[in-house]
A = this chain, B = another copy of it.
Amino acid sequence: MRVVFLGTGGTYPSKKRNVSSVTTQIGPDVVMFDCGEGTQRQLTISPVSFMRIRAVFFTHLHADHFLGLPGLIQSMSLNGRTEALQVFGPDKTIETVRDMLNLGHFRSQFDVIAKELAPGENIDLGSFNVSVAEASHNVPSLAFAVEEEPRRGRFDIQRAKELGIPAGPKYRDLQEGRPVTVDGRTIQPQDVIGQERSGRKMVYSGDTRPCQSVTEMAAGADMLIHDGTLDSTHARLADEFGHSTAAQAAKVAKDAGVATLYLTHISPRYDDDSVLLAEARSVFPHSVVAHDLDVVEIRYRKPG
């Protein structure tokens, strides 16, 4: 599972940070979360192919999270895309997508299918699942979790040999969960196959105050990407505009027991973001401030 940060800045772009967008890739499939203005330009300087984007999820309908969609669709269309693109988001997403596609002289050569989501929904995208929770912003706002299906445990070939199981169809039967018989002995799958391994899990909060629903969704995630717009000296401002401080994001990460926290939606006021990093790490040591074009591979955790 590869996560690419395309834009990590809050509200409006700065020299160093474009506005919000992040992609998650599992195998060949890319899913995009938020698509602020200029995202297609960021894609050109990233390792992500924009033709592989299967779906776009909007956390909310502030322009720094969605204005990149019509240009991206236009470029996909000019580059010959024919496959439909799914666009998910909160209330008003259908109307907003329709209005964006009707601007100026342009008609997409492929279908754009918009769907409005409610907290608690799950979207099955084949190799992974996206679930939806409510965030706490000043407009309707969602958080998303990307989770792989749990994987089968490892097949222990050494043990299989010791049990005298001949390589071949019986291996497959065991891997697919069926007992086999060898020399009159019944061998159960669990005799040669280890514990089921969890799939990887990434959670993206969008713009949000710290809140219980995002903390619950993030439980045990490998990566939590959380609003960390401001430092604690601006806690009141953060609350007023529906954002989190770095320390609040770190507290969510700690309470949820995630492996690593990435702060995003960094205010353009921080030319130097070390104050955010220090503040987050004082609460939760496995904190990172995300930067534009960072590429992070989420690996399977060792069982145990």
Which residues of A from 91 to 122 have beta carbons under 8 Å from B?
92, 96, 99-100, 102-106
Given known A13-B44, A37-B38, A78-B11, contact A104–B62 (CB-CB < 8 A): yes
**Segment at the interface with B among A67-75, A147-155, A231-239:** A67-75
A75 to B9, CA, bound (A): 13
Identify the closest chain B residue to A138 (Cβ): B105
**Chain A contact residues, majority secondary structure:** loop
Contact of A71 among B14, B40, B67, B104 (CB under 8 A): B67
Query: A167 contacts the other chain (Cβ, under 8 Å)?
Result: no
For A64, what are the chain B residues with a Cβ–Cβ distance below 8 Å? 71, 74
Query: A18 contacts the other chain (Cβ, under 8 Å)?
Result: yes
For A67, what are the chain B residues with a Cβ–Cβ distance below 8 Å? 37, 67, 70-71, 103
Query: A128 contacts the other chain (Cβ, under 8 Å)?
Result: no
Query: A180 contacts the other chain (Cβ, under 8 Å)?
Result: no
Which residues of A from 13 to 63 have beta carbons under 8 Å from B?
13-15, 18-19, 37-38, 40-41, 44-45, 60-63
Identify the closest chain B residue to A89 (Cβ): B104
**Is B13's CB under 8 angstroms from A40's CB?**
yes
Query: A270 contacts the other chain (Cβ, under 8 Å)?
Result: no
Interface 0/1 of A258-280, CB less than 8 Å to B:
00000000000000000000000
A67 to B60, CA, bound (A): 19
**Is A63's CB under 8 angstroms from B104's CB?**
yes
Contact of A15 among B18, B45, B92, B100 (CB under 8 A): B45
Nearest CB in chain B: distance from A59 CB, A: 12
Contact of A62 among B14, B60, B96, B105 (CB under 8 A): B105
Query: A204 contacts the other chain (Cβ, under 8 Å)?
Result: no
**Is B41's CB under 8 angstroms from A13's CB?**
yes
A12 to B71, CA, bound (A): 8
Identify the closest chain B residue to A137 (Cβ): B105
**Is A75's CB under 8 angstroms from B139's CB?**
no
23 inter-chain pairs at a CB distance below 8 angstroms, sorted by A residue, are A12-B40, A12-B71, A12-B74, A13-B41, A14-B44, A18-B41, A19-B71, A37-B38, A37-B40, A37-B41, A41-B41, A60-B105, A61-B105, A62-B104, A63-B74, A64-B71, A66-B104, A67-B70, A67-B103, A92-B105, A96-B103, A96-B104, A99-B99
Give 16 A-B pairs besides A12-B40, A63-B71, A66-B103 with Cβ atoms closer than 8 angstroms. A11-B78, A12-B71, A12-B75, A13-B40, A14-B44, A18-B41, A37-B67, A37-B68, A37-B71, A61-B103, A62-B105, A63-B104, A63-B106, A64-B71, A67-B71, A67-B103
